[in-house]
Structures are given as structure tokens and as C-alpha cells.
Amino acid sequence: MLCLTRHVAETIHIGNIIVIVIQRIGDSQVRIGIHAPRELTIVRGEGHRDTAPVNAQGASCFEN
């Protein structure tokens, strides 16, 4: 496992098509944004074994 330290607005690039952006850091949570092709399935770790569709509201989360 690769462990990185990032600050708000810093990014992590995975390959040439995925970018993870640190959006907000709270007391016990980190909010991240993921830029990836729509055809790529992304699920949270706790939902990895669940085959239920991803929450459509969460899939459209955009903040500036």
C-alpha cells in the first residue's frame, strides 16, 4: 500500500485518466473528489462487496 500526505486542493494522479482531489479535511473525515471516466465503476470500500447501484445523488457531487 502506498501512503501519501496531502493538503486541501492537492491531487493524486492514478495513471493518465484518474485524478483524486482533496476537497476538505475535517476532524474525522476527509472529503475527496474523483475525476474518472463515467464507464469506470467506483465504489466505497464498505460497499465493495455490495452489488447495489451507486447513489445517483452522490455521483453528481460537485463543489467549487
Q: What tens digit of pLDDT does each residue of 6-51 get?
A: 999 999 999 999 999 999 999 999 999 999 999 999 888 876 665 5
For every residue of the chain, DSSP letters joined together read: -------TT-EEEETTTEEEEEEEE-SS-EEEEEE--TTS----GGGTT--SPPPHHHHT----
Q: What is the pLDDT of residue 64?
A: 45
pTM: 0.70
Domain ranges of the chain: 11-59
Residue 55 confidence class, pLDDT cut points 50, 70, 90: low
